[in-house]
Structure 1
Amino acid sequence: MKHSSIPSAQLVVQHCKAKKLRNIVISPGSRNAPLIIGFTEDPYFTCYSIVDERSAAFFALGIAQQLKEPVALVCTSGSALLNYYPAIAEAFYSGIPIVAITADRPVYKIDVGDGQTIRQDHVFDRHIGYSANLRQDVTHSLARVQKYAPQWLKEGTAEENQSEIKQFNDSELNKALNVALQVKLPVHINVPFEEPLYDTVDQPTEVALTVMPQNSSEEAEIEMEPFVETWKNSERKMVLVGVNAPNEIDVDILEALANDPTVIVFTETTSNLHHKNFFGSIDSIVAPIEKASNTEELFNRLKPDILLTFGGLVVSKKIKAFLREYSPDQHWHIDQIKAFNTFFSLTEHVKQKPNDFLRKLLFNGQKAESDYYSYWSGRKTNYEARRDEYLAQIEFSDLLAFESILKFIPKETQVHLSNSSTVRYAQLFNLDSSLHVYCNRGTSGIDGSTSTAVGASINYTGPTLLITGDLSFFYDSNAMWNSYIRPDFRIILINNSGGGIFRILPGRDDSENFETFFETKHQMSGKLLSEQFGFNHQIVDEKRGLENALKEFFLPSQFPKVLEVSTPRLLNNKILLGYFDFIS
């Protein structure tokens, strides 16, 4: 087995192996050659080659999201690593451990006009769990070090200085990788290399001194009695769940919440929680209150005494606006690591797993009496009936397309939703409880939805479906430029010829400037792009054609597929806004 001759490259690979980082996503380059050699020559690692660094980072995020373990990125120097930043930010706010390992030029070649050279150290500092900036080896390419950085050798021999460098690099690598493992945040490891870059040795010349992360599985001890007593005595409790991995909460806990008359449970499509008593379309409850003549009375009736939250970020802007205006008396957020004060009313950060805390909270004595659930359940039943009535009378549009699409998704499918309109339309309907639903809600960007879905599909046992808007699809088209897309990968492309979400936001007008610079009106189809990357492609533009296509779309095939759904740009926003008027 070959190893790079550069000591710091050997240390990086050894530390990753010791910490069980198996998956390495590599973008081609020359300065990162020592790392490429080390990772690809060792059969312990599973290496992926993704040319576009932005796509590579989201691809890695998808793998890490599914495996719930760190995944490493490797790129060359210069602007290459800057393309990691969107995925790094997403990982930071979503709590996904990505390890960005970036090759750098020697420090004495930075800011002197050398090619492919930028200030790489600490470049992600505002959105990173830890930045490890390794020191350059002095025993490798000693002649160049003596010429360009003789000050590094003033104290002692090259070997003595190299020993100090190794000790420093070992320490930094341990700190960075342990943060990724324990705190579930992205980390950055920047490694400067001097030429020659491609020399190898048959046996490693370095031995990494690794420090394994401390066992963090033990949960913080908390005094449960105050929580239990407050919970039992409260007549209005709201449970709100944001992004949440599938199968995180036990069925008996869900039943206890669902059958408590003092509790209403608001979930989102990304919550992956299901029960017939849960409220899965939050905006369909809140929007009619906003339009009512007695808005304040209804919002005060909805206002909880206790707001209990867990999971990641919440999509619904309406529930955020409501809870900020009508603050609960207490807000408890359950998470082992962090608690965002989203509603500016946080009173308790419970540092435990939600399933464990809820089990200790819920099964303790008599429940209080209340009409809190029954009243809002009646309003839910009403809007569901009105929704069905509305869907039966509208023209083909985004709303009608989503109603059809979500009914046809096969059980056990992994579903990825792009941001903006797509995830919001999906919120309006119930999904089958067997589906695993994901969306990049950390930063809510459109830039990596496809790449994330492709990465997430790698280790998923069943098929993967991405539902995406047109701007997201075209923006991240390089996601399809790799050899890892499975034949059971499916994309449903909702093409409404622009950024449809901007037509429902305040300030919309029908001017040419709006259509060009906000909505980004276009006439593009996904046909040629799909076929270029080896996808079967089909396009439909009405409900019957869509439902006929969906019957065949999920059947096994030799190639992945794109189903493009063309909807009317100028009608979609009117139908969506009309929906909220109708159910009100």
Structure 2
Amino acid sequence: MKYPKIPLAQTVIQLCKAKSIKHIIISPGSRNAPLTIGFTNNPYFKCYSIVDERCAAFFALGIAQQLQEPTALVCTSGSALLNYYPAVAEAFYSDIPLIVLSADRPKHLIGIGDGQTINQQNIFENHILYSANLKLDLDEEIEVEEELPIFKNLENKLEKLLGLKQGIQDYNETEINKAVNIAFSKMGPVHINIPFDEPLYDRIDEPTVNPTTVSVEKQELKIETNILNECIRDWNAASKKMVLVGVSRPNSIEQKWLDVLAKDDSVLVFTETTSNLHHNNFFPSIDKIIAPLKDEDFKSLQPDIILTFGGLIVSKKIKAFLRKYKPQQHWHIDVKKANDTFFSLNRFIQSSPNQFLSKFLPEIQSKKSDYKKIWSSVKETRAYKHANYLSKIDFTDLKAFEIILKAIPNNTVLQLGNSSTVRYAQLFDLNKTLDVFCNRGTSGIDGSTSTAIGCAVANDKQTTLISGDLSFIYDSNALWNSYIPNNFRIIIINNQGGGIFRILPGHKNTKNFDTYFETKHQLTAKYLCKMYGFEYNYVSNESGLKNNFNSFYSLSQKPKLLEIFTPKNLNDEVLLQYFKSIS
């Protein structure tokens, strides 16, 4: 086995292996050569080469999202590191562990006009759990008097130098251990900045350092008895309780606790598409329920207590509702943080939702209330009108989503693009066997395809990505990737621009709007698919879409992409009329 000659690179690589960080996503460069040599010559690591650093970072995020363990990113110095930032921010807000390993130049080469140098230390300061700025190794062949004049008049110069070298080694080991342990324990991104001096490509057969591994300290979260008792008391006294669940991993809560919540007549459980929670008595498709409501309806729906868990909420409508009609109490359950989304948060319980519910629900009493009965009736009415409206409309985005979501195979993974894609999906009751994911930490369109591909690589289940045209084109370098499984599927809704802007306030159908908001275009994915080796097909009507799904999920020697063209001047009218029709 070959190792980089530089001890600092050996230290990073050995500690990554000791801490079971297996997936290493490398973008090519020279300054990171010592790390690349070490990782790629060690059979323990699964290494991926992805040129575009932004795509590489979201690819790594997709792997970490599925495995729930850190993946490592390796890049050269300079602007390469900046391209990681969108994915780092997403990981920060979505609690996904990433380890950024950035090669850097020595301090004396920074700020003097040398190539590929920027100020890399603490570069992700506002969106990182920890930044470790490592120190440059001292070369064993260093000329002490020339490089370290402080030793000029000291005796035992070599002994002093060796002590300094060991001090640097100890510091670097401590910082690496700390950063990686935080990524594990707090589930989020960390940055390790690693300065290397030339020569960068020298190799040796045996490592020259043996770094010490510090184990991760497991934090045991306990719910204080008095807090739990107060929650039980207040919950039992309230006749209108709402549970609102944002982004959650599949199977993160035991079904028996969901069943308890579903039986209580005083509890409404609102779930988002990304919550991965299902029960016949729950209320999915939030916007479908509340969009047509009037003031008196909102007052009737207003809860005494709202209990939230999971990640960020997609529905703007329920956020607006709960900000105006505030609950008396808002409790949030999470192991890390609580967002005061509705400006009424009064209790943050640091616990996993499953742990809290297992302590809390056995002690609650079902309360007589017509809260659920009233809103269950509303849900049934909305479902009937929803189906009736969809049976009559022309082929548009809304109709396409109805067909697509019914066609996705059972027990597969669905990755949703942001903006209009995830919002359309919110209007439908999804197949309960699907695992649903979306980058809702920052809700950006920039890495949906790369994340979905990383997910497909890490997951044994088949993955389907549904994306808008702008989101797909924006991240089209994601296809510049030799790891995409043949069963990976992409569905693009191409409405020739940013269709979501047509349903927002603004002056449509003007040159200014078309150019700067909707960003009209005539691009398609056809030639990208030809270049990157995808099977390509397109449809532009209902029958074509239904017929295409007969073969879209069949076995193939290549991944497949289906592009669905919808009428941009009709989509917004159909969607706006939808909310009127279900009221």
Common fold, TM-score beyond 0.5?
yes
1:282 deviates by: 0.8
Classify 1:336/1:402 alpha carbon distance in 2 versus 1 (closer, same or farther; 3 Å).
same
1:320 Cα offset (Å): 0.7
> Deviation string for 1:332-381 (max 9, x for gaps)?
11111111111111111111111121122222253111111111111111
Structure 1 distance, partners of 2:433, 2:16, is 35
With normalisation by structure 2, the TM-score equals 0.97
Provide Cα deviations, 1:543-577, integer angstroms capped at 9, x if missing partner: 11101101211111111000110000111111111
Q: Percent identity?
A: 56
Write the distance in 2 (CA, Å) between the matches of 1:221 and 1:534.
56
Structure 1 CA distance for aligned equivalents of residues 418 and 513 of structure 2 = 21
Question: What is the 5 A alignment of 1:570-581?
Answer: 570-581=569-580
Give the direction of change, closer, same or farther, for the CA distance of 1:146–1:354 in structure 2 (3 Å limit): farther
2:298 aligned residue: 299
Task: Give the letter aligned to residue 96 of structure 1.
Answer: I
User: TM-score when scaled to structure 1?
Assistant: 0.97
Q: 1:131 touches 1:189 (CA, 8 Å); kept in 2?
A: yes
Secondary structure class of the residue paired with 1:347: strand
Q: Is the 8 A contact 2:21 2:72 kept in 1?
A: yes
Match for residue 279 of structure 1 among 283, 304, 307: 283
Partner Cα separation in structure 2 for residue 16 and residue 344 of structure 1: 42
SS of the residue 2:363 aligns to: coil
User: Structure 2: which 5+ runs fail to align?
Assistant: none
Q: Which residue of 188, 192, 201 corresponds with 1:189?
A: 192
Q: Paired residue for 1:203?
A: 206
CA contact (8 A) 1:421 1:500 kept: yes
Aligned partners of 1:6 and 1:140 also within 8 Å: no
Matched AA of 1:491: I
- Code of the aligned partner of 2:187: K
C-alpha distance in structure 1 between counterparts of 2:186 and 2:313, whole Å: 21
Q: Is 1:264 the counterpart of 2:268 in the alignment?
A: yes
- 1:54 equivalent in structure 2: 54
Mapped to 1, the partners of 2:51 and 2:145 lie a distance apart of 36
Moved more, 160-169 or 429-438: 160-169
Question: Are the equivalent residues in 1 in contact too, given 2:284–2:429 (CA < 8 A)?
Answer: yes
Matches within 5 A, 1:234-383: 234-289=238-293, 295-364=294-363, 366-383=365-382
2 CA distance for matches of 1:549 and 1:483?
26
Structure 1 stretch displaced more, 218-227 or 76-85: 218-227
Q: When the two structures are aligned, how many residues end up with a matched partner?
A: 577
1:233 is matched with 237
Tell me the residue number matched to 1:292: none
Cα deviation, residue 459, structure 1: 2.1
Rounded to whole Å, the distance in 1 between the matches of 2:376 and 2:524 is 43
Match of 2:9 in 1: 9
* CA deviation vs aligned residue, 1:58-114 (integer Å, no higher than 9, x gap): 000000000000110000001101000000000000000100000001111111110
How far off is 1:153 after superposition? 6.2
2:180 aligned partner, one-letter code: L
* Separation in structure 1 between the aligned mates of residue 52 and residue 269 of structure 2, nearest angstrom: 41
Distance 1:309 1:407 in 2: 29
**Unaligned segments of structure 1, at least 5 residues:** 290-294
Taking the TM superposition and a 5 Å limit, the aligned residue runs for 1:487-566 are 487-566=486-565
SS in 2 for 1:142: coil
1: distance between equivalents of 2:46 and 2:145? 38
Shift of 1:217: 4.5
User: Once the 2 structures are TM-superposed, how far is the Cα of residue 296 of structure 1 from its aligned partner?
Assistant: 2.4
How well do the aligned residues superpose, as a CA RMSD in angstroms? Answer: 1.5
Instruction: Check conservation: 2:235, 2:364, Cα contact below 8 A.
Output: no
Q: 1:115 to 1:370 in 2, by over 3 A?
A: same
**Greater mean deviation of Cα atoms: 91-100 or 131-140:** 131-140
Pick one of 214, 218, 239 that aligns with 2:217.
Answer: 214
2:399 is aligned with 1:400: yes
Distance 2:507 2:134 in 1: 50
Deviates most, 154-163 or 428-437: 154-163
**CA distance in structure 2 between the partners assigned to 1:306 and 1:2 by the alignment:** 61
1-structure distance, mates of 2:196, 2:364: 64
**Do the aligned partners of residues 533 and 222 (structure 1) sit closer, same or farther apart at CA in structure 2, a change above 3 Å counting?**
farther
How far apart, in 2, do the equivalents of 1:410 and 1:534 lie?
Answer: 23
Give the stretch that moved more between structures: 324-333 or 54-63: 324-333
> Cα distance, 1:222 vs. partner?
4.1
Aligned-partner Cα distance in 2 for 1:251–1:206: 50
Change (3 A) 1:3 1:580: same
Which position in structure 1 is the counterpart of 2:97?
97
For 1:170 and 1:399, how far apart are their aligned partners in 2? 54
Matched to 2:255, the amino acid is: V
Question: Could you say if the C-alpha distance between residues 322 and 153 of structure 1 is closer, same or farther in structure 2, counting changes exceeding 3 Å?
Answer: farther
What's the CA shift for 1:151?
5.8
8 A Cα contact 1:502 1:508, kept in partner: no
